[in-house]
Amino acid sequence: MTISIELPIQLKSNAENNLLADIRETKIEYAFGEITESNLPILLLLETLKPTDMHYEFLKKIQHFCIPSKIMVVGVFEASYLSVYKKFIQSGFFDYAVMPVSAENMSARLSLAKKRLLREEQFSEMGRLDALTGVLTRQGFLERARSLYASAKRKQISTAILMLSVDRLKGINMRFGQTTGDKVLIGFADILSKRKRDTDLLCRYSDNSFCMMTVNMRLSHLETFLDDIVLACLSPKYNAGLITLHVNASIGLTTNLGRSFDDMLNKAGNALRQSKERGPNEVTIDTDNISESVLVRSSIP
C-alpha cells in the first residue's frame, strides 16, 4: 500500500501513471496510526517544502517503532534540508529526491522503493514462519497482533485470544519419540489452520502450544468454533509403531481486552492452565475477569 503526506502538486495531475495514481493521501497526524494498524507493507511518500518538528518527530517514531521490512519512506525536499534528514537517510528505511523533481523521476524512485520493500518483506516473512508447522512463529505473531489489538481496542471491536495446547505431548515424545510428537504438532497446526479465518492470526507459541487471535467474532460463534476444534482433534489417528494414538487438546480463551495486549495474553494463558489442571479436552473462557469451564460435545457422555 502506498500512502502520501502532502502529495507534491506536480504529481497529482499525472493520472496516466498507475503508480502515482494509486497513491492515497493522508495527514501527518493520522499517518502513524495507519502505518501501525496495517498488516501490509507501507510505502510512504513524504513531501515537505520546509521540515518542521512534527515531521522530524514523526520519522523518529517510525524509526523506533516500525519494523524495517514493513515501511519504506521516500522523502521529497529541497537540497538545503539534506542535513536535517541525514540521520534517517542512513537508517535504511528512507530514500529521497531533491526538488524540483519530475513525475517520471518520482515514479522511478517509488518503483525501486516498492521492489525493495517487497523483497525485504519476503525475506522477513520466511523468518516469521515456524519451520515445523508452517504457521507464524511467536515473534511473527506478536509483531502483527499488537497492532491488531491497538486498533480493536480503539474501535471497541470484539477480540479474543485463544491459547491451545496438545495434551500430554511430553509423554508422547518420551514414549514414542520426537518424530511421533512432531507428527502430532503438524496435525494439530493443520486443524487450526483450516478453521481459522483469513483475518485471524495463528502461531506456534511454545513447544506444544499455539495462540490464535480473532477479531469481530461473537461469543456464541466462538463457543461453536472451540467445540469444533476439540472434536476435530479427536478424529486424526497417529501411528506409533503398533499403537494408534488419539490426541486431546486443552484450550484457554479470553475476550477481556484488559489493560494491555500483554495483559490479555496473560489472561488467555491463565485460562489454559485452568483447563489443563482439570484434565484433557477442557475449555475455559475468561470474560470480564470471570473464568468458566465450557462444556463441549466431546466431553458429554
Q: How far apart are CA 226 and CA 252, in angstroms?
A: 10
Least confident residue range of 92-96, 122-126, 194-198, 272-276: 122-126
Is the pLDDT higher at 53 or at 11? 53
CATH code of the domain occupying 2-127: 3.40.50.2300
Pairwise pLDDT comparison (20 vs 102), residue with the higher score: 102
- The structural domains of the chain, with segments of one domain joined by +, span 2-127, 138-299
DSSP 136: B
Average pLDDT on 208-229 reads 87
The percent of residues above 90 in pLDDT, for the chain, comes to 19
Query: Position of cell 479465518?
Result: 197
**pLDDT over 50 (residue 15):** no
Which is higher by pLDDT, 207 or 64?
A: 207
Place of cell 507501507: 42
Q: Return the percentage of the chain with pLDDT > 70, whole number.
A: 80
How much is the pTM?
A: 0.61
Please tell me which residue, 233 or 50, carries the higher pLDDT value.
233
pLDDT tens readout for residues 34-54 = 777 766 667 777 777 677 778
Q: Are strands 243-245 and 238-240 parallel, antiparallel or unpaired?
A: antiparallel
Residues 26 and 23: their CA atoms lie apart, in Å, by: 10
In the chain, count of helices (H) and strands (E)? 11, 13
9 CB burial (10 A radius; 0-12, 13-18, 19+): exposed
94's CB contacts (< 8 A; 6+ apart) are: 59, 72, 73, 74, 75, 85, 88
For the residues 114-135, what does the mean pLDDT come to? 75
Q: What is the pLDDT of residue 13?
A: 42
Stretch 199-215: mean pLDDT: 93
What is the rounded distance in angstroms from the CA atom of residue 75 to the CA atom of residue 17? 19
Burial class (CB in 10 A: 0-12, 13-18, 19+), 49: exposed
Amino acid 292 reads E
Range with the poorest average pLDDT among 3-7, 83-87, 134-138, 219-223: 3-7
Q: What is the mean pLDDT of the chain?
A: 79
Confidence of residue 193 (pLDDT cuts 50, 70, 90): very high
Pick from 9-18, 107-116, 130-139, 230-239 the range whose average pLDDT is largest. 130-139
Question: Which pLDDT band, with edges at 50, 70 and 90, does 122 fall under?
Answer: low
Contacts of 210 (CB under 8 A, 6+ apart): 135, 163, 164, 165, 188, 189, 192, 202, 203, 204
Q: 138-299 domain in CATH 2.40.30.20?
A: no
Rounded Cα gap, residues 290 and 256, in angstroms: 9
Mean pLDDT of 121-141: 79
- Mean pLDDT along residues 76-86: 82
pLDDT of residue 297: 44
Q: Which residues, including other chains, have CB under 8 Å from residue 172's CB and lie 6 or more apart?
A: 180, 181, 184, 240, 245, 247
State residue 64's pLDDT score. 74
